[in-house]
């Protein structure tokens, strides 16, 4: 279990570093490194700001990938696992985005949380539909097996 957790967290950290910097690059100001100017000012130089951004972006990825283990808890409902994962991602994202100066206003933060919530809701609805279909299929197979037993 520990090895699986470490693999997921490590992979998530690497993925988060890459994605965080790509997003910063494409949403950046276009001058210098893809780092928020406020972070550069706070840290003092671009290289240190980029290093901090890379590490903290990795934390978002680590939380996201590591948090997928909530879905493997057999006694947890899918809703509980998804809400726990969402809470973990939200808390980590809010802290990291504030430190990295990605989000500076409450309105921006609420918009991002709304987008994340909408994505989770869509995923939850899709997964419920998939599981409902699988349960129907299993019930049909069970009924068919019972009917064969009665016929014999």
Do both 116 and 97 map to the same domain? no
Q: What is the pLDDT tens value at each position of the chain, 152 positions in all?
A: 789 889 999 999 999 999 988 888 877 655 667 888 888 889 998 889 999 999 999 999 999 999 989 988 889 988 898 899 999 999 999 999 999 888 889 999 999 999 999 988 898 889 889 989 999 999 999 998 888 877 76
Domain that holds residue 137: 106-152
Do both 15 and 57 map to the same domain? yes
Triad 54, 99, 37: Cα angle to 5°:
75
Do both 129 and 91 map to the same domain? no
Residue with tokens 């973990």: 88
Do both 27 and 70 map to the same domain? yes
- Other beta carbons within 10 angstroms of residue 51's beta carbon come to 13
Token pair belonging to 134: 């699988």
- Other beta carbons within 10 angstroms of residue 48's beta carbon come to 14
Do both 29 and 89 map to the same domain? yes
Do both 66 and 140 map to the same domain? no
Number of domains in the chain: 2
* Pairwise CA distance, residues 29 & 145, whole Å: 64
Predicted TM-score of the model (pTM): 0.78
Contact 40, 55 (CB under 8 A): no
Do both 17 and 42 map to the same domain? yes
Do both 14 and 66 map to the same domain? yes
Do both 62 and 75 map to the same domain? yes
Do both 46 and 65 map to the same domain? yes
* Pairwise CA distance, residues 30 & 3, whole Å: 40
């Amino acid at each position: 279990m520990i090895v699986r957790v470490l693999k997921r967290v490590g992979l998530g950290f690497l993925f988060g570093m890459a994605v965080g910097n790509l997003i910063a690059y494409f949403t950046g100001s276009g001058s210098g490194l893809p780092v928020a100017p406020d972070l550069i000012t706070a840290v003092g130089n671009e290289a240190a700001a980029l290093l901090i951004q890379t590490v903290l972006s990795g934390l978002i990825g680590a939380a996201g990938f590591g948090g997928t283990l909530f879905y493997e808890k057999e006694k947890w409902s899918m809703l509980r696992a998804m809400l726990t994962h969402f809470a973990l991602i939200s808390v980590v994202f809010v802290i990291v985005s504030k430190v990295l100066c990605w989000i500076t206003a409450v309105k921006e933060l609420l918009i991002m949380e709304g987008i994340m919530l909408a994505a989770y809701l869509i995923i939850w609805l899709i997964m419920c539909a998939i599981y409902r279909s699988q349960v129907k299929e299993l019930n049909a197979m069970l009924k068919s097996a019972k009917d064969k037993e009665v016929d014999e």
